[in-house]
């Protein structure tokens, strides 16, 4: 008996080393293939292949290139460290990106609680690069692409579309640094900066870690004691792990460990009191309260057709604020997968 | 590292520490000064009245929901809050058996028939009071003097009326409320008496000052939508100022309107009930304006001296309509498609 594993086409990204890309003479297509060969993906956490993101669809042009220096989640400080320590790589990467996309405007968005990073980048900014640095108010989930595009350009990405619809391409600042570091030498991605934090960690901090390192080994090095819950990513969208014998991937932006005191035990769920906190919290101005009621009634199709379920990017703000402890975003995750399955079935 | 049992949860792994039961409990706690002042003004009668309505509400919640669910529901403190609020809208000396019936009606008809907490269309305490007003119009408008001697040793006799019998005639001189005094006899009450509660009236409507303090506390803790009291009181103040300036003899002063009757209690504690008020901010402003407008219309041109209860109940009925009809602006939807997608 054998198991045949078929990989999703765009998920395969073979690293090919040794083909240096010379910034001065490279074409846009060569830069894109250089990025693909280096195995670079979005390091903010989504791990979407960067060369795919940079391939502008037919009929669209890139007007705005936005470098995302907004940390994607609370607790995580990887982007912050990268901005403080890798300015030269960031600006080198930016040169490659500008050459590949020829945008009309280039922005770097940073939240106001990272003023030191903002000043450091301002200080190291090459004079010949036309980059506008934007200091943004601190507001989760501003690190989400759509939110950042709106915060910087004022344009709203249409429902169900990607930022390129309004001419914007958003690239994470650590991804940009990686491009600047790897492409001139034709190297492949091997390591990334990971925030390791949480009350269960003795030596909290940002670490440069080789991709593939087992989680258990890392936790041993940083002194993890009495831990009850470990999740990869941030506290709002991160995924709990059931087993420590798993490797770090390119998409691991953080490792957070909670002691038993911090874990949310199963809290009593109360009735929705229509307080409206979730409506105020939803960055897309959806109606999580109504969506939650519909999810309980299993009215999944109505959720998608009338209430924009599929626009929800699961930031978790609704569940965070709900005083009645209703697991709203958890409902939406399940509902979304059911709707997607039904839609796929209807198509085939 | 040794093996450990890890807990698996779906994100978010953090939670804002403000639960529904905490909110309800804080609303009850913020009413303690108001209740204490009611007991100070009207004596043990007030204490008995508050205890009676609260017991009626909690017992009804427990019985109607069945044993297990009832226990769980009582932990959310909302039945206690309904009981306390109902008592605060009743006159001291109100027969206790009627108050008990009012508490049962508040929970049964005001909340349970709609499906329990979160489903009720109207503020349950006001439903209870509206029923009492319809059923016992005399008892609910019989007011006693405040700060009577011996109020801590003697119960106002009418409180102990035996069910379905004529109320015992009160010995104390019945005092007109500031609003009825103005409406029927054109007698104004001093503003400091109104603000600090040295007038006749229902338990919780005499000391406007303490209600404002409670409201500010809840507003700062974000347990109450400040727009509602500000909207209602602002509307009442603006409209009555215009009327008062046009004819100071016929119309009461804005101070008198703001600090008398149930307006303060209604605006801060009743209209702000999250369940029966609109969700959207625009809806909240319209709702508050309508309530304020109705209060002025009923008080000045209506047949009753007081209209806060009906104004809020009308506002409650309007809330779902406001939620449905106000276009909800969703991110990434062009304005052409917006109207189709209402909350």
Task: State whether residue A198 sits within 8 Å of chain B by CB.
Answer: no
Note whether B23 and B171 are same-domain residues: yes
Average pLDDT of span B232-253: 92
pLDDT tens per residue across span B254-278: 888 888 888 999 999 999 999 999 9
Q: Are strands A191-197 and A254-258 parallel, antiparallel or unpaired?
A: parallel
Note whether B236 and B112 are same-domain residues: no
Contact B19 A224 (CB under 8 A): no
pLDDT at residue A294 tops 50: yes
Q: Which residue among B7, B23, B116 sits closest to A323, beta carbon to beta carbon?
A: B23
pLDDT at residue B1 tops 70: no
Phi, psi angles (nearest 5°) of residue A277: -60, -40
Please give, rounded to a whole number of angstroms, the shortest distance from the CA of A45 to a CA of chain B: 15
SS3 of B244-279: HHHCCCCCCCHHHHHHCCCHHHHHHHHCCCCCCCCC
Instruction: Supply the pLDDT for residue B168.
Output: 58
Report pTM.
0.84
Contact B12 A329 (CB under 8 A): yes
pLDDT-based confidence at residue B339 (cuts at 50, 70, 90): very low
The CATH classification number of A28-185 equals 3.40.50.11540
Domain ranges of chain A: 28-185, 191-262, 277-347
Please tell me the distance from the alpha carbon of residue A239 to that of residue A231, in angstroms, as a whole number.
5
pLDDT at residue B174 tops 60: no
Note whether B169 and B215 are same-domain residues: no
pLDDT tens per residue across span B105-116: 999 999 999 988
Contact A256 B13 (CB under 8 A): yes
In a domain, B198, yes or no: no
pLDDT-based confidence at residue B343 (cuts at 50, 70, 90): very low
SS3 state of residue A57: coil
Query: Which one is predicted more confidently, B89 or B69?
Result: B89
Please tell me the distance from the alpha carbon of residue B322 to that of residue A267, in angstroms, as a whole number.
33
Q: Are strands A254-258 and A229-232 parallel, antiparallel or unpaired?
A: antiparallel
- Residues of chain B in contact with residue A238, where contact means CB-CB under 8 angstroms, are 11, 13
Average pLDDT of span A98-117: 94
In B, minimum Cα distance to A159 occurs at: B332
In a domain, B280, yes or no: yes
Q: Report the range out of A80-94, A217-231, B148-162, B167-181 with the highest average pLDDT.
A: A80-94
Average pLDDT of span A66-76: 92
- Residues of chain B in contact with residue A232, where contact means CB-CB under 8 angstroms, are none
Please tell me the distance from the alpha carbon of residue B325 to that of residue B21, in angstroms, as a whole number.
31
Please give, rounded to a whole number of angstroms, the shortest distance from the CA of B340 to a CA of chain A: 8
Note whether B123 and B246 are same-domain residues: no
Note whether B75 and B127 are same-domain residues: yes
Which of A203, A274, A311, A320 is most worth mutating to test chain B (most B CB atoms within 10 A of its CB)?
A: A274
pLDDT at residue A314 tops 90: yes
Q: Which residue among B7, B329, B330 sits closest to A263, beta carbon to beta carbon?
A: B7
| CB neighbour class for A5 (10 Å; exposed up to 12, middle 13-18, buried from 19) | exposed
Contact B6 A325 (CB under 8 A): no
Conformational region of residue A318, where left means phi above 0, alpha means psi within -120 to 50, and beta covers everything else: alpha
In A, minimum Cα distance to B283 occurs at: A276
Instruction: Supply the pLDDT for residue B85.
Output: 95
pLDDT-based confidence at residue B138 (cuts at 50, 70, 90): confident
In a domain, B278, yes or no: yes
Instruction: Supply the pLDDT for residue A114.
Output: 94
Q: Quick one: how many helices (H) and strands (E) in chain B?
A: 16, 0
* Total domains in the fold of chain B: 2
Peptide bond just before B220 cis, omega within 30 deg: no
Q: Enter the tokens of residue A129.
A: 């690069």
- Residues of chain A in contact with residue B22, where contact means CB-CB under 8 angstroms, are 323
Contact B13 A235 (CB under 8 A): yes
Query: Which one is predicted more confidently, A3 or B218?
Result: B218
Please tell me the distance from the alpha carbon of residue A106 to that of residue A109, in angstroms, as a whole number.
10
Q: Enter the tokens of residue A44.
A: 């903010």
The matching CATH number, chosen from 3.40.630.30, 3.40.50.1820, 3.10.20.600, 1.10.645.10, for A191-262 is 3.10.20.600
Contact A274 B12 (CB under 8 A): no
Q: Enter the tokens of residue A289.
A: 């309260």
Contact B274 A286 (CB under 8 A): no
pLDDT at residue B2 tops 70: no
In A, minimum Cα distance to B69 occurs at: A270
B315 is in which domain, residue-wise?
Answer: 209-327
Please give, rounded to a whole number of angstroms, the shortest distance from the CA of B63 to a CA of chain A: 18
Q: Which residue among B18, B117, B280 sits closest to A323, beta carbon to beta carbon?
A: B18
pLDDT tens per residue across span B3-57: 678 888 888 999 988 888 899 999 999 999 999 999 998 889 999 999 999 999 9
Task: Tell whether the torsion through CA atoms of B205, B208, B214 and B215 is positive or negative.
Answer: positive
In a domain, B190, yes or no: no
Please tell me the distance from the alpha carbon of residue A97 to that of residue A159, in angstroms, as a whole number.
26
- Residues of chain B in contact with residue A240, where contact means CB-CB under 8 angstroms, are 6-11, 13
Task: State whether residue A290 sits within 8 Å of chain B by CB.
Answer: yes
- Residues of chain A in contact with residue B228, where contact means CB-CB under 8 angstroms, are none
Instruction: Supply the pLDDT for residue A334.
Output: 95
ipTM for the whole complex:
0.83
Please tell me the distance from the alpha carbon of residue B125 to that of residue A185, in angstroms, as a whole number.
74
Task: State whether residue A141 sits within 8 Å of chain B by CB.
Answer: no
Contact B6 A286 (CB under 8 A): no
In a domain, B2, yes or no: no
| Least confidently predicted of A68-77, A93-102, B134-143, B155-164 | B155-164
In A, minimum Cα distance to B343 occurs at: A287
Q: Enter the tokens of residue B215.
A: 């409201």
Q: Enter the tokens of residue B92.
A: 């001291």
Domain stop point among B151, B175, B199:
B175
SS3 state of residue B13: coil
Instruction: Spell out the residues 6+ positions from residue A131 whose beta carbon is closer than 8 angstroms to its own.
Output: A94, A106, A107, A108, A125
Average pLDDT of span A221-230: 89
pLDDT-based confidence at residue B153 (cuts at 50, 70, 90): confident
Note whether B141 and B288 are same-domain residues: no
Q: Which residue among B10, B119, B337 sits closest to A330, beta carbon to beta carbon?
A: B10
Task: State whether residue A283 sits within 8 Å of chain B by CB.
Answer: yes
In a domain, B9, yes or no: no
Instruction: Supply the pLDDT for residue B193.
Output: 72
Q: What's the whole-number average pLDDT of chain A? A: 91
Task: State whether residue A263 sits within 8 Å of chain B by CB.
Answer: yes
Contact B279 A230 (CB under 8 A): no
Angle subtended at Cα B316 by Cα B314 and Cα B318, rounded to the nearest 5 degrees: 70
SS3 state of residue B136: coil
| Least confidently predicted of B125-134, B141-150, B161-170 | B161-170
| CB neighbour class for B21 (10 Å; exposed up to 12, middle 13-18, buried from 19) | middle
Note whether B225 and B110 are same-domain residues: no
In a domain, B188, yes or no: no
- Per-residue burial over A276-288, b if 16 or more Cβ lie within 10 Å, else e, is bbbbebbbbbbbb
Average pLDDT of span A171-178: 96
Q: Which residue among A227, A244, A320 sits closest to B15, beta carbon to beta carbon?
A: A320
Q: Which residue among B10, B119, B328 sits closest to A287, beta carbon to beta carbon?
A: B328
pLDDT tens per residue across span B178-193: 777 777 777 777 777 7
Q: Which residue has the tokens 């709106």?
A: A150
In a domain, B77, yes or no: yes
DSSP bridge partners of A255: A196, A232
pLDDT at residue B302 tops 80: yes
| CB neighbour class for B60 (10 Å; exposed up to 12, middle 13-18, buried from 19) | buried
């Amino acid at each position: 008996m054998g198991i045949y594993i078929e990989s999703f086409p765009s998920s395969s990204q073979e690293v090919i080393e040794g083909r240096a890309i010379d910034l001065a003479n490279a074409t846009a297509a060569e830069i894109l293939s250089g990025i693909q060969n280096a195995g670079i993906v979005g390091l903010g956490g989504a791990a979407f292949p960067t060369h795919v993101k940079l391939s502008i669809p037919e009929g669209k042009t890139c007007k705005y290139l936005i470098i995302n220096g907004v940390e994607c989640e609370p607790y995580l400080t990887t982007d912050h460290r990268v901005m403080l320590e890798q300015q030269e790589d960031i600006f080198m990467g930016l040169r490659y990106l500008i050459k590949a996309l020829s945008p009309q405007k280039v922005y770097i968005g940073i939240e106001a609680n990272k003023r030191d990073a903002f000043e450091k980048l301002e200080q190291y900014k090459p004079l010949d690069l036309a980059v506008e640095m934007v200091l943004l108010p601190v507001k989760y989930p501003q690190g989400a692409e759509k939110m950042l595009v709106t915060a910087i350009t004022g344009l709203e990405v249409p429902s169900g579309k990607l930022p390129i619809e309004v001419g914007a391409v958003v690239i994470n600042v650590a991804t940009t640094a990686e491009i600047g570091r790897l492409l001139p030498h034709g190297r492949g991605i091997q390591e990334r900066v990971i925030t390791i934090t949480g009350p269960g960690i003795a030596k909290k901090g940002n670490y440069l870690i080789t991709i593939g390192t087992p989680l258990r080994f890392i936790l041993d090095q940083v002194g993890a004691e009495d831990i009850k819950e470990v999740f990869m990513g941030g506290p709002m969208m991160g995924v709990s792990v059931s087993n420590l014998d798993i490797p770090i991937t390119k998409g691991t932006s953080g490792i957070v460990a909670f002691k038993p005191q911090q874990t949310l035990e199963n809290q009593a769920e109360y009735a929705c009191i229509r307080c409206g906190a979730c409506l105020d919290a939803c960055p897309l101005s959806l109606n999580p309260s109504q969506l939650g009621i519909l999810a309980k009634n299993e009215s999944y199709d109505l959720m998608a057709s009338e209430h924009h379920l599929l626009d929800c990017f699961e930031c978790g703000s609704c569940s965070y604020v709900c005083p009645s402890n209703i697991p709203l975003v958890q409902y939406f995750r399940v509902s979304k997968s059911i709707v997607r399955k039904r839609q796929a079935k209807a198509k085939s | 590292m040794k093996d450990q049992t890890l807990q698996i949860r779906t994100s978010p792994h953090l939670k804002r520490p403000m639960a529904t039961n905490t909110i309800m409990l804080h609303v009850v706690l913020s009413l303690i000064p108001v209740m204490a002042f009611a007991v100070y003004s009207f004596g043990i009668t007030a204490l008995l009245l508050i205890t009676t309505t609260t017991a009626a509400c909690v017992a009804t919640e427990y019985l109607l929901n069945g044993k297990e669910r009832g226990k769980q529901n009582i932990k959310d403190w909302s039945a206690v809050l309904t009981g306390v609020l109902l008592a605060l809208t009743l006159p001291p000396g109100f027969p206790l058996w009627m108050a008990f019936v009012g508490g049962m009606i508040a929970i049964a008809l005001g909340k349970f028939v709609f499906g329990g907490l979160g489903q009720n269309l109207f503020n349950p305490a006001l439903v209870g009071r509206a029923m009492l007003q319809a059923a016992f119009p005399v008892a609910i408008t019989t007011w006693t003097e405040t700060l009577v001697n011996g109020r801590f040793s003697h119960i106002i006799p009418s409180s102990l009326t035996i069910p379905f019998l004529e109320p015992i005639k009160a010995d104390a001189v019945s005092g007109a409320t500031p609003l009825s005094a103005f409406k029927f006899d054109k007698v104004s009450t001093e503003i400091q008496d109104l603000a600090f509660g040295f007038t006749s009236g229902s338990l919780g409507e005499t000391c406007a000052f303490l209600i404002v303090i409670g409201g500010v506390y809840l507003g700062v803790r974000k347990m109450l939508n400040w727009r509602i009291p500000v909207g209602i009181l602002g509307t009442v103040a603006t409209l009555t100022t215009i009327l008062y300036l046009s004819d100071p003899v016929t119309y009461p002063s804005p101070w008198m309107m703001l600090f008398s009757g149930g307006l303060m209690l209604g605006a801060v504690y009743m209209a702000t009930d999250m369940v029966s008020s609109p969700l959207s901010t625009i809806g909240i402003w319209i709702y508050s304006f309508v309530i304020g407008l109705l209060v002025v219309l009923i008080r000045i041109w209506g047949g009753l001296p007081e209209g806060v209860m009906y104004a809020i109940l009308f506002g409650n009925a309007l809330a779902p309509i406001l939620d449905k009809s106000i276009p909800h602006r969703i991110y990434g939807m062009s304005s052409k498609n917006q109207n189709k997608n209402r909350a």
